[in-house]
Structure 1
Amino acid sequence: WEYGEEKASRRIAKAIVKARSETTISSTSQLAAIIHSVMPAKRYGQIDPATRSFQALRIYVNRELDELKSGLAASEAMLKPGGILAVVSFHSLEDRIVKRFLASRSQIASQPSRHRPPSNGPAPTFELLTRKALQAGDREREDNSRARSAKLRVAMRTDAPYPGQENALCA
């Protein structure tokens, strides 16, 4: 549910628990068959019903979302003013993390309302170079089918200190 955004996650989990009580699951094809058994048949053009479940397992095992958060924070600390941060995400969980990070570190976070006077919060550490995520065009998707879900977000590092930099300089 959390890492695969799978609507049928509880049904799939129950089927996996039941299958494990009967025998050991020892292959990915065996796991895929269990998932297929509780999902409606795949329609033309639809992704395989097991894709989200395998995505969730991969994200959990590799700690991919934690690694992404760490990488974004490290980029903020390592980039010099004028440095460009370009992040390609391949699913909504990753893109949501990148979008929220950049929003919280850019002028968007400093101006929560265009009707309210600007707040005196910390100076933005990034300037968004793309307001929305860039996506592959039709031609690129034809040439590279994996580009269909890719989203690119780009920001430039400002000269504002990153959160915690003041404490790091004093230590």
Structure 2
Amino acid sequence: MNAQAPHIPVMLADVLAVLQPKDGGVYVDGTFGAGGYTSAILGSADCAVLAIDRDPNAILRGRELQSKFGERLTLVEGCFGDMARLVRELGHATVDGVVLDIGVSSMQIDEAERGFSFQKDGPLDMRMSGAGLSAADVVNTFDEHDLARIIAVYGEEKRARAVARAIVAARETAHFERTLALADTVARVVGRRPQDRIHPATRTFQALRIFVNDELGELARGLSGAEEMLHEGGRLAVVTFHSLEDRIVKRFLTARTGRAARASRYMPERSEVAPSFREIAHKALKASEAEAEENPRARSAKLRAAERTSAPALPLDLAALGMARMPALMEGRA
């Protein structure tokens, strides 16, 4: 059995360079996972970390790390979208930094019983918290139109309609209960050419996972929560792994650093809103070639970062983040 950590934190050095942990500071790791960022932050300064994760298994695994760092580490089972409330309930009015590593962890994918993988047979679940609608509930009960929209919007699958049609037809014979049964159905529709780098079921599984866990809504609420909790000079670092997530982060920071208002000198003048963040880096940072070679998960990673100003936090506007059509899909969620 591999004795190494099951999850390697991506762009760790870059994240630490952004956060600049300091003695006496309080930092939020909104996606605790295996604790890679948390451990590095606590190891780089005499500070405290509030580590949030909706996965109860991650919280249980974190107990060992907590025994190492003592009261400097506080583990919180919950959603990082509720960050502002959770942090205040712990007695903190503001924090010095927030780090978010968006998406599913390699540990969750490797655990077949969690149902995230299309390469390992397991129950068709995909729920990070273990509560609410499962992926099986979605594929077995949603109508063809809604399935197609979910797969198209959240998976960016070009053959979403055909995939949805095949799922609905197949479940007439037997409900989908296992991951490989669904993966095989999708693969027969999408097909695979020799030059394709990804499995034909990748986008459909991504779409179901994002929908089941409301990942993009969670990201939007988490960004807004970080804006609310960070004091002036506090730092935000967000690592994303696909375009849907990165676009939301980019639009959020573009609006809040004032770049949207100065995007074009030909735009009509309008009342300026004081930027709530200032840029740390104008463009997203990417992992080095060496890191990408060592850790394949880093190949698609992007890090966006910003520093909080003294301006008031702005209201969360889903339409401005390109999410106007996404909430409608959530109406089917129980």
TM-score by length of 1: 0.90
Q: Retained in 2: the 8 A contact 1:42–1:48?
A: no
Alpha-carbon separation, structure 2, partners of 1:70 and 1:89: 15
Alignment correspondent of 1:169: none
1:87 offset after TM fit, Å?
0.4
Query: Are 2:211 and 1:60 equivalent residues in the alignment?
Result: yes
Q: How does 1:106-145 map to 2 (within 5 A)?
A: 106-114=257-265, 119-145=270-296
Q: Kindly, what percent of the aligned residue pairs are identical? A: 52
Partner deviation per Cα, 1:33-78 (whole Å, 9 max, x = no partner): 0001112224246110101100000000001011100000011110
- Tell me the matched-pair count: 164
Query: Are 2:153 and 1:2 equivalent residues in the alignment?
Result: yes
Gaps of 5+ in 1: 165-171
Alignment correspondent of 2:167: 16
Partner deviation per Cα, 1:117-169 (whole Å, 9 max, x = no partner): 864321000111111111112111111000011110011111111126xxxxx
Pair 115,37 (structure 1): closer, same or farther in 2 beyond 3 Å = closer
Pair 117,21 (structure 1): closer, same or farther in 2 beyond 3 Å = closer
Alpha-carbon separation, structure 1, partners of 2:314 and 2:160: 37
Query: Are 2:294 and 1:160 equivalent residues in the alignment?
Result: no
Alpha-carbon separation, structure 2, partners of 1:130 and 1:43: 38
Alignment equivalent of 1:100, drawn from 251, 270, 282: 251
TM-score by length of 2: 0.47
Alignment equivalent of 2:179, drawn from 28, 43, 47: 28
- Which of structures 1 and 2 has the larger relative contact order (alpha carbons within 8 angstroms, sep 6+)? 1
Alpha-carbon separation, structure 1, partners of 2:179 and 2:193: 18
Moved more, 72-81 or 105-114: 105-114
Cα root mean square deviation, aligned:
1.6
Moved more, 39-48 or 22-31: 39-48
Gaps of 5+ in 2: 1-151, 316-334
For residue 312 of structure 2, give the secondary structure of its aligned residue in structure 1: coil
AA at the equivalent of 1:68: L
